[in-house]
Amino acid sequence: MTSPRVLVVDDEADLRELLEITLVRMGLDVDSAETLREARAFLAQNDYGLILTDMRLPDGLGLELVQEVGASNKSTPIAVVTAYGSAENAVVALKAGAFDYVSKPVVLDDLRVMVQSALRLSAPSAHSGSPAAPGSASRLIGESAVMQSLRSQIERLARSMAPIAITGESGSGKELVAREIHARSSRAGKPFIAVNCGAIPEALMEAEFFGYRKGAFTGAADERDGFFHAANGGTLMLDEVADLPLAMQVKLLRAIQERRVRKIGATSEEPVDVRIISATHQNLAQCVETGKFRQDLFYRLNVIELSVPPLRERLDDLGVLVNGMLARLAGPGKPAALGPQVLETLRTYSFPGNVRELENVLERALAFANDGVIEVGDLSLKGARVAEKAAPAEAMPAPAPPPVALAAAAPLGAGAPAELPSSLPDYLEQVEREIILRALTQTQFNRTQAAVLLGISFRQLRYQMQKLDIQEPEG
């Protein structure tokens, strides 16, 4: 078997030699070019497993090579070497289609990790840990034009390290898309860790993300890894990223930029090799404008934006989604089907909770159905609005205005010169419980719809329900 071949493009003799020696020691064949012209000549003659190029070259920019390789039908990964502290160059290169970047001065361990990851992309996918083959089975159901375009974007993005920001309404499939990107990437054999940033108490955030050393604080009985370590070699998904407190945003930015983390109580930083995918159902650019989200972190996370359309904009997929979900929900060998008019009725609904809501509706309906055949009456879409036609996003119910809800739940006596609560946390907890229970009762304990009514994500609602020990009534 021949060794993979790497093309190094750099006019600085010292750095070029260092790269060559490192790559040859990794068992790779190396060609070196000093200019874009030489690089083009090599590329015309050979196929490479990886191209590693400096940004500034005597006859142009490494970026041109990134674009040319991207436009060719060869899918060779190309990585750029960027000047120290030049985060902007790295982002520009990633946006242009670079697989990854290494900063100067080049840390050889980082370089090796990056090279191995790139070479896994071109390796035959026979052994476990290799990416799923393009077009192979996926959990992401849908054949509509938007879903097909989403699939091809996933395929393309899986071949790079660029941070991706996934936007889309709650329940539209953002996490599933992130999992799909991971499964099709060279990181497939390593962990995928999804973190709901909105569900972690602020005081615990640093410990959860970065881990801690034994004795770092009272209660730190043992050393613990954080999410970054847990995802090492793989992908870390920052879900509901808009909910990160500002202080944590600074720390995350540093970790992402430096690719290093320091456990609480540790004196040194450790390298981590993690691809970051973020997701939110909020408008992050607007959060930047209102000062809720740091511009620099936004810029760093939003290198590539991927938008998952709401279900009501791809109702053509309803049939295949229902079939796929029913087969999974019913279990192997068990029949499950739709009675007359059921699909048509579902089509008239706007699905504010998107695919998750569809899943919940079907799960519930299947429980009521006779012999696995779901009838219109089993759908229990009563509590929800049945739309005449696809409803625009703004038509979704607005969250309940807090002052009214507070008054309804307040043990203080409406309008009375209010007595102060003896414990603010207990009081707020009581109000929160009351409001969540009202939303759940109104939606017949459909958590997806209740979350929409309250303007929070499904996961936030589930977290609050667990915290407040709110359970669905039996029977």
Ligand X SMILES: Nc1ncnc2c1ncn2[C@@H]1O[C@H](COP(=O)(O)OP(=O)(O)OP(=O)(O)O)[C@@H](O)[C@H]1O
Residues that bind ligand X (CB under 6 A): 139-142, 168, 170-176, 239, 281, 321, 355-356, 359, 457-459
- Using the minimum distance from each CB to ligand X, give the nearer residue, 275 or 459: 459
**Based on CB atoms, which residue is closest to ligand X, 91 or 150?**
150
Residue 66 or 177: the one with the smaller Cβ distance to ligand X is 177
Question: Looking up tokens 């490479």, which residue turns up?
Answer: 48
Shortest spacing between CB 440 and ligand X, in angstroms? 17
Alpha carbon dihedral 433, 437, 438, 440, in 10-degree steps, equals: 140
The full length of the chain comes to: 475
Residue nearest to ligand X (CB): 173
Nearer to ligand X among residue 175 and residue 206 (C-beta) = 175
| Token pair belonging to 55 | 């940004």
CB of 230 to ligand X, least distance (A): 19
Which of 53/172 has CB closer to ligand X?
172
Distance CA 48, CA 78 (A): 10
Q: Is the dihedral of CA 425, 431, 432, 434 positive or negative?
A: positive
Closest distance to ligand X from the beta carbon of 179 (Å): 8
Closer CB to ligand X, 90 or 177, in the complex: 177
CB 222, CB 177: distance < 8 Å = no
* Residue 173: closest CA among 346, 308, 323: 308
* Alpha carbon distance 237, 175 (integer Å): 8
**Spatial distance between the Cα atoms of 74 and 345, rounded to a whole number of angstroms:** 47
Alpha helical stretches, state H, 259-396: 284-289, 295-301, 318-330, 342-347, 354-368
Helix residue spans in 126-226 (DSSP H): 145-157, 174-183, 205-210
Minimum gap (Å) between residue 371 Cβ and ligand X: 25
**Cβ 190 to ligand X shortest distance, Å:** 20
Instruction: Report in angstroms how near the CB of residue 171 gets to ligand X at its nearest.
Output: 5
